[in-house]
Amino acid sequence: MSIHVSARAERCEPTHIDPVFARDAILGLNQQPKKLSPKYFYDETGSDLFEEITRLPEYYPTRTELGILRERGREIAATIPENAALVEFGAGATTKARLLLAHDRIGAYVPVDISGAFLARQADALRRDFPHLAVHPVAADFTRPFSLSNEIAPLPKAGFFPGSTIGNFEPEEACAFLRTARSILGPDAILIVGVDLEKDDRVLQAAYDDDAGVTSRFNKNILSRINGELAGDFNISRFAHRAVYNRTSHRIEMHLVSQDAQTVHLLGHDIAFRAGESIHTESSYKYSVARFQDLARRAGWMPDKVWTDARDMFSVHALRADLA
């Protein structure tokens, strides 16, 4: 027989509550199965933890994509119009964009990221390292429409979406994002997208459940955000990180699993968990080159070029807006 335990914990009331975050958290935690959007991983702490993940030996996507960008960067940059504005969706640490900026074809760089403080630090560093580059950061949810500044409007546009982040969307959501990107960038735009490829289950499992526990801390940070920003009272020690590859759906899934029966309180809502019940926090879809190109066509993009590493672990695609 399980014992129903309250997870109420001491906390400070936030001075401001983001109504969109509050709505999404309450709706997601009241669904069956429970879920939270992975976009809420990325406050300043989450962004820093993700950068730590990218340096882990198990986490192949970052170093493999960086290898492609280093080895084939001149070819990739050549697909971008001269003096274009490079708009990076979910810019993070801007490490990969720097490899394209180094080829001196870019007239302006527009990093877009939900974490404003992290973004400001990266923009300052870019201005120091590329003093002749116009940098126009946009603090926004890149999954939703946003506006580009008037200085950017006359320039040709190129989008950059590295890191296999496209895999974090459900396929129809990925299609919707690609359509939104096309609308933001305009009818003559190109889009450079990093896409993780299907591979051995064991490689995927290790990449999302590392021995050092960094991915676990990253996953649990979403609960810390709810506690700090939405007056939640999650007892984080009662939740365990779990990653599993769902081969039928072509995706790795991350979950936070309740270790016992408990009730969490959030903005007047009582959210009950059974022992073993999970919150699905992220899916990371893995594609074949052909399946991703089919997805891009459905969203109004024409596949142009694709680059992969020697082991076919990862791919970088150049897409052109379909004028039809």
Q: Which pLDDT belongs to residue 322?
A: 84
Question: Domain check: are 260 and 137 in the same one?
Answer: no
CA distance 80 to 73: 11
Task: Identify whether 183 is part of a domain.
Answer: yes
Whichever domain contains 113, its CATH number is: 3.40.50.150
Q: What is the pTM of this model?
A: 0.86
Task: Return the structure tokens found at 322.
Answer: 């379909």
Domain range holding 126? 60-199+287-321
Task: Identify whether 14 is part of a domain.
Answer: no
Question: Domain check: are 157 and 292 in the same one?
Answer: yes
Using the CB atoms, write b or e for 199-217: b if 16+ within 10 Å: beeeebebbbbbeeebbbb
- Tens digit of pLDDT for each residue in 273-304? 999 999 999 999 999 999 999 999 999 999 99
Question: Domain check: are 311 and 177 in the same one?
Answer: yes
- Please give the full DSSP string across 195-242, using - where no structure is assigned: EEBP--HHHHHHHTS-TT-HHHHHHHHHHHHHHHHH-----GGGEEEE
Q: Which pLDDT belongs to residue 15?
A: 63
Question: Domain check: are 159 and 229 in the same one?
Answer: no
Contact 26, 267 (CB under 8 A): yes
Question: Domain check: are 111 and 218 in the same one?
Answer: no
Q: Which pLDDT belongs to residue 116?
A: 81
Contact 301, 321 (CB under 8 A): yes
Question: Domain check: are 176 and 41 in the same one?
Answer: no
Q: Which pLDDT belongs to residue 9?
A: 44
Q: Determine the length of the chain.
A: 324
Question: Domain check: are 95 and 65 in the same one?
Answer: yes
Question: Domain check: are 114 and 74 in the same one?
Answer: yes
Phi/psi region, residue 163 (left: phi>0; alpha: psi -120 to 50; beta: rest), is left
Question: Domain check: are 147 and 263 in the same one?
Answer: no
How many Cβ atoms sit within 10 Å of the Cβ of residue 90? Answer: 21
Task: Identify whether 4 is part of a domain.
Answer: no
Contact 144, 183 (CB under 8 A): no
CA distance 245 to 206: 10
Task: Identify whether 177 is part of a domain.
Answer: yes
Q: Which pLDDT belongs to residue 240?
A: 98
Phi/psi region, residue 71 (left: phi>0; alpha: psi -120 to 50; beta: rest), is alpha
Q: Which pLDDT belongs to residue 92?
A: 79
Task: Return the structure tokens found at 3.
Answer: 């014992």
Question: Domain check: are 194 and 155 in the same one?
Answer: yes
Count of domains forming the chain: 2
Which of helix, strand or coil describes residue 79?
coil
- Tens digit of pLDDT for each residue in 113-165? 887 888 888 999 999 999 999 999 999 989 889 989 899 989 999 999 999 99
Task: Identify whether 69 is part of a domain.
Answer: yes
Task: Identify whether 149 is part of a domain.
Answer: yes
Task: Identify whether 94 is part of a domain.
Answer: yes
Question: Domain check: are 242 and 152 in the same one?
Answer: no
CA trace torsion 294, 76, 47, 177 (10° rounding)? -30
Question: Domain check: are 259 and 222 in the same one?
Answer: yes
Q: What are the pLDDT tens digits along the chain (324 aa)?
A: 333 333 444 455 666 889 999 999 999 999 999 999 998 998 889 989 998 999 999 999 999 999 999 999 999 999 999 999 999 999 878 899 999 999 988 999 999 988 788 888 899 999 999 999 999 999 998 988 998 989 998 999 999 999 999 999 999 999 999 999 999 999 999 999 999 999 999 999 999 999 999 999 999 999 999 999 999 999 999 999 999 999 999 999 999 999 999 999 999 999 999 999 999 999 999 999 999 999 999 999 999 999 999 999 999 999 999 876
Q: What angle do CA 10, 13, 19 make, to 5 degrees?
A: 130
Task: Identify whether 12 is part of a domain.
Answer: no
